[in-house]
Amino acid sequence: MEKENMQQIYSVEADSYDCIGCAIAKGELTPPGGTIYESRNIVLAADPEVPIPGFLIITGRRHVNSFSMLYKEEWMEIGEVISKAERAIKNLGLAQEITLVQEERSKHFHIWIFPTKDWMIEKFGRGVSSLRDISRYAMENATGSDWEEVEEAVREIRAEFYKGNYEY
């Protein structure tokens, strides 16, 4: 795929849906690199709009917007998937620390698994308050090679996610 097209394809696709979460959950929108994990409850994949390797989204299959609206089976599975995804990201050296975010103002339940990278700390500092600025910066400065790095990270995370036999 040509780099000029690749850098816009995911964000353009995402903009064409009323609910990105539903589109991902139904398989109508393919995230960069495809899905990492799918079940009847959730989907784990790279963010389709922000090209940061290791930035993952857990999307619920049901159209609810709050963690408190999830069934026990769903939130228990989400906890296990977060743990495995975080370990995979760290084992691959994609981040040394992770920030988890879930906002109820979104139309569709999802959790950000946001990797902290050195360039982010240098440019924006640490913490939740910098995540929007980091995301905006990554989108505005995206190149085709950034999306290629996201897709490669997804392949590596998927392999690590299933390789790790994490017992609790």
pLDDT exceeds cutoff 90 at 23 = no
Comparison of pLDDT for 165 and 130, the residue scoring more: 130
Q: How far is CA 154 from CA 18, 75, 88, 148, 159, in A?
A: 25, 23, 10, 10, 9
**Residue 166: inside a domain, yes or no?**
no
**Residue 138: inside a domain, yes or no?**
yes
Residue 4's pLDDT is what?
A: 46
Residue 97 pairs in a beta bridge with 116
Residue 10: pLDDT band (50, 70, 90) is low
**Residue 13: inside a domain, yes or no?**
yes
Q: How far is CA 4 from CA 49, 51, 149, in A?
A: 15, 14, 15
- Which CATH number fits the domain that encloses residue 35? 3.30.428.10
Comparison of pLDDT for 160 and 110, the residue scoring more: 160
Structural domain tally of the chain? 1
Measure the CA–CA gap between 74 and 164, rounded to whole angstroms. Answer: 21
Measure the CA–CA gap between 126 and 97, rounded to whole angstroms. Answer: 10
**Quick one: which H or E segment has residue 123?**
helix 118-124
Residues 22, 28, 31, CA angle at the centre, nearest 5°?
90
**CA of residue 7 relative to chain centroid, distance:** 17
Residue 19's pLDDT is what?
A: 80
pLDDT exceeds cutoff 80 at 5 = no
pLDDT exceeds cutoff 50 at 1 = no
pLDDT exceeds cutoff 90 at 84 = yes
Q: What is the pLDDT of residues 34-67, one digit of tens each?
A: 999 999 999 999 999 999 999 999 998 888 888 8
**Residue 167: inside a domain, yes or no?**
no
- Average of pLDDT values for 91-103? 93
**Residue 168: inside a domain, yes or no?**
no
* Domain span holding position 16: 3-161
- Average of pLDDT values for 74-79? 95
**Residue 29: inside a domain, yes or no?**
yes
Tokens standing for residue 153: 């990270």
**Residue 22: inside a domain, yes or no?**
yes
